[in-house]
């Protein structure tokens, strides 16, 4: 619809054919462009259609509507559209019991479906102790609604998600990461809304990992730790309530993705033989950072053996197609690789050079896809071609607990060299805050 809006701005009338399942998204996009009257036809042509009989039936069914939209005079509302929702909702929105608050916020479409902590004045004030920035400080306007990402709204999301005040610096850095995400196809503007159900995946590096207890070890991506659970959850609420990206409307994800509830891991820097991710990306080891990507797929597999060949060959055989991939090695695997002389770059090089597919398969894999630059595909069907065109699209980190499994988070992310990592700024009272909240950890009884 953005193309249609730019055409209307150039004084030409438009009609856009969309799949009828995307009518809500179409209307939201039109309104975001200030053109609520943009004419569109919700047609029955299937998504990504390639069967001509279906396409013909869809177009035939919509033909009269298309002609009508091209020729029918404008209604008064289309000529001069009326009002829109209030842009300054009341700051205090509701009063009620815990259950009533939860029901109210859920019914307004402001939660992720799970119960929330009520964002009272008192709770939000406590969350704001996690930053020196004032509540009305504006970080930027978050797509698609261009909602104002103020510190207070971020704190409200943090409270609702169950964050501790020591998580605020991460939420602020994460929001900046979203705001400064690469424009166009490989940034948040695509991955936040696409039919591909890409989920924000946050990697935390630096000293803050220990100060706020972000799990980098056993079950790091499982439920159980406030930081891993609540930070990712809060970022989801920020996307929803500040960015205005709602499931089934602006978020067009076909299948959805459980990683959208939360997907946060710390790198196990202490047990890694390699430089940590943020140092690789130019930060100092003592800096704390958060790195964002948008995987679609999460998979795990065994190595064929514990030596470098067995680990890397298994990675090559199991890693799926995708644009950007984070491969998480456990400390023992990483150390075995290092002992055999593999640095991070060597690991990436091995994977990129050995993930080969026959040209015939690569050709099929490209069918129907957006014409991205994967390079030319040889004519000879059995000629092997690399599936990963550039090893910079591979990210290697160390994490996870004892055991042999290797994990892959594969999907989207920034073009190498574009912004993906944000330094986390700490408030002046950081040490005091850490002392206050650091012991908020689960203690599991033996039974």
C-beta of 3 vs 382, nearer to other proteins: 3
Question: At closest approach, how far in Å is the CB of 293 from other proteins?
Answer: 17
292 vs 204: CA distance, rounded Å:
9
Query: Strands 356-358 and 138-142, how do they pair?
Result: unpaired
113 binds other proteins (CB under 8 A): no
Cβ–Cβ < 8 Å for 384, 358: yes
253 binds other proteins (CB under 8 A): no
Cβ–Cβ < 8 Å for 105, 94: yes
Buried b (16+ CB within 10 A) or exposed e, 163-195: bbbbbbbbbbbbbbbbbbbbeeebbbbbbbbbb
87 binds other proteins (CB under 8 A): yes
The one among 119, 236, 322, 411 contacting other proteins by CB under 8 A? 119
Chain positions 124 to 183 lying near other proteins, rule: CB under 8 A, are: 124, 141-142, 145-150, 152-153, 156-157, 160
The one among 59, 338, 359, 384 contacting other proteins by CB under 8 A? 59
Choose the stretch contacting other proteins; rule: CB under 8 A; options: 98-106, 162-170, 331-339, 427-435: 98-106
The one among 237, 265, 352, 398 contacting other proteins by CB under 8 A? 237
Query: Residues in contact with other proteins, total (CB under 8 A)?
Result: 105
341 vs 136: CA distance, rounded Å:
51
What is the residue-wise DSSP string for 162-225?
T--GGGHHHHHHHHHHHHTSPSSTTSHHHHTT-TT----EEEEESTHHHHTT---STTTTSS--
Cβ–Cβ < 8 Å for 116, 161: yes
Question: At closest approach, how far in Å is the CB of 118 from other proteins?
Answer: 4
Q: Residues near 124 by Cβ (< 8 Å), separated by ≥ 6?
A: 152, 155, 156, 159
Cβ–Cβ < 8 Å for 162, 226: yes
Cβ–Cβ < 8 Å for 238, 142: yes
18 binds other proteins (CB under 8 A): yes
Choose the stretch contacting other proteins; rule: CB under 8 A; options: 185-193, 324-332, 402-410, 413-421: 185-193
Chain positions 368 to 427 lying near other proteins, rule: CB under 8 A, are: 368-372
The one among 23, 69, 356, 384 contacting other proteins by CB under 8 A? 69
98 binds other proteins (CB under 8 A): yes
91 binds other proteins (CB under 8 A): yes
Question: At closest approach, how far in Å is the CB of 170 from other proteins?
Answer: 18
Choose the stretch contacting other proteins; rule: CB under 8 A; options: 33-41, 171-179, 311-319, 437-445: 33-41
C-beta of 237 vs 312, nearer to other proteins: 237
């Amino acid at each position: 619809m953005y193309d249609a809006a730019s055409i209307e701005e150039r004084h030409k009338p438009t009609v856009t054919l969309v799949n009828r399942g995307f009518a809500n998204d179409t209307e939201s996009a039109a309104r975001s462009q200030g053109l609520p009257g943009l004419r569109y036809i919700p047609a029955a042509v299937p998504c990504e259609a390639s069967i001509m009989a279906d396409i013909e039936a869809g177009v035939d069914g919509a033909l009269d509507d298309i002609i009508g939209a091209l020729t029918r005079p404008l209604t008064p509302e289309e000529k001069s559209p009326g009002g829109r929702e209030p842009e300054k909702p009341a700051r205090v929105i509701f009063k009620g019991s815990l259950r009533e608050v939860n029901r109210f916020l859920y019914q307004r479409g402001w939660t992720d479906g799970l119960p929330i902590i009520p964002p009272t004045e008192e709770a939000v004030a406590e969350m704001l102790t996690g930053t020196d920035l004032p509540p009305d400080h504006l970080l930027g306007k978050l797509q698609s609604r261009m909602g104002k990402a103020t510190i207070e709204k971020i704190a409200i999301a943090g409270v609702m998600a169950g964050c501790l005040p020591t998580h605020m610096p991460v939420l602020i850095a994460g929001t900046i990461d979203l705001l400064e995400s690469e424009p166009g196809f490989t940034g948040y503007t695509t991955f936040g809304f696409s039919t591909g159900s890409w989920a924000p995946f946050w990697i935390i590096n630096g000293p803050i990992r220990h100060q706020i207890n972000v799990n980098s070890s056993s079950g790091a991506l499982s439920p159980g730790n406030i930081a891993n659970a609540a930070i990712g959850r809060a970022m989801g609420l920020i996307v929803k309530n500040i960015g205005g990206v709602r499931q089934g409307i602006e978020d067009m994800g076909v299948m959805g993705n459980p990683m959208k509830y939360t997907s946060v891991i710390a790198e196990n820097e202490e047990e890694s033989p390699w430089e940590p991710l943020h140092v690789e990306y130019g930060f100092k080891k003592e800096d704390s950072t958060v790195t964002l990507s948008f995987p679609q797929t999460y998979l795990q597999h065994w190595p064929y053996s514990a030596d470098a060949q067995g680990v890397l060959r298994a990675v090559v055989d199991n890693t799926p197609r995708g644009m950007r991939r984070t491969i998480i090695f456990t400390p023992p695997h990483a150390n075995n690789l290092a002992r055999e002389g593999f640095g991070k770059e060597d690991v990436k090089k091995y994977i990129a050079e050995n993930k080969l597919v026959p040209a015939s398969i690569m050709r099929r894999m490209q069918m129907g896809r957006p014409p991205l630059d994967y390079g030319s595909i040889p004519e000879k069907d059995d000629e092997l071609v690399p599936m990963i065109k550039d090893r910079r699209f591979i990210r290697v980190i160390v994490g996870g607990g004892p055991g042999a499994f290797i994990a892959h988070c594969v999907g989207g992310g920034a073009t190498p060299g574009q912004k993906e990592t944000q330094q986390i700024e700490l408030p002046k009272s950081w040490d005091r805050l850490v002392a206050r909240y650091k012991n908020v950890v689960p203690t599991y009884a033996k039974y």
